[in-house]
């Protein structure tokens, strides 16, 4: 009989691979957002499983102007972290009116919580530095959020 720690390690590896395969196989809806003159092509995570998985296990940076929009079931002081996320990201927390509440840079493979500065309905993750490079700051308006699927 094999020692338990080896079995646990094998199970953890299998779960990580299955999670990555599910993520790769699942096609998320994509919507176009606008922030000022900037266009964003955003995959939408509007269900509990897709919000939980987010951009975990992806190893390549997002494409130019590509991101992931998280749609929460209710506004709140939502938080994001980078567990099992390999690419550096910036997150903008957005309220019901499409106004950016705050933006935070997040480091890969960390569990530091980045929290919305107010009642956020959405979070938009982009490659790290994307917002800063385009002069997008707190108070900017995000258009196109009404096209996002309703959260589950």
Which domains does the chain show, CATH number per domain? 28-147 (2.60.120.1140)
pLDDT score for 142: 98
Query: How confident is the model over 42-99, as pLDDT tens digits?
Result: 999 999 999 999 999 999 999 999 999 999 999 999 999 999 999 999 999 999 999 9
pLDDT at 26 > cutoff 90: no
- The Cα-based distances of 111 to 80, 81, 106, 150 in angstroms read 9, 5, 10, 28
> Contact, 28 vs 43, CB < 8 A?
yes
Looking at every residue in the chain, the average pLDDT score rounds to: 89
Q: What percentage of the chain exceeds 70 in pLDDT?
A: 83
pLDDT score for 88: 97
pLDDT score for 5: 54
Q: What is the pTM of this model?
A: 0.84
For the CA atoms of 54, 24, 35, 109, the dihedral, rounded to the nearest 10 degrees, stands at 40
């Amino acid at each position: 009989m094999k020692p338990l720690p080896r079995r646990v390690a094998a199970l953890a590896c299998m779960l990580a691979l299955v999670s990555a395969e599910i993520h790769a196989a699942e096609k998320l809806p994509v919507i176009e957002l606008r922030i000022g003159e900037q266009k964003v092509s955003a995959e939408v995570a509007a269900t509990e499983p897709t919000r939980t998985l987010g951009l975990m296990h992806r190893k390549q940076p997002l494409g130019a102007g590509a991101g992931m929009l998280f749609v929460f079931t209710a506004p709140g002081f939502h938080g994001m972290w980078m567990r099992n996320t390999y690419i550096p990201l910036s997150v903008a927390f957005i309220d019901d009116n499409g106004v950016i509440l705050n933006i935070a840079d997040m480091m890969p493979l960390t569990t530091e919580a980045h929290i919305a500065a107010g009642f956020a309905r959405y979070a938009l993750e982009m490659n790290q530095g994307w917002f800063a490079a385009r002069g997008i700051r707190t108070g900017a308006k995000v258009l196109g959020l009404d096209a996002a699927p309703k959260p589950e």
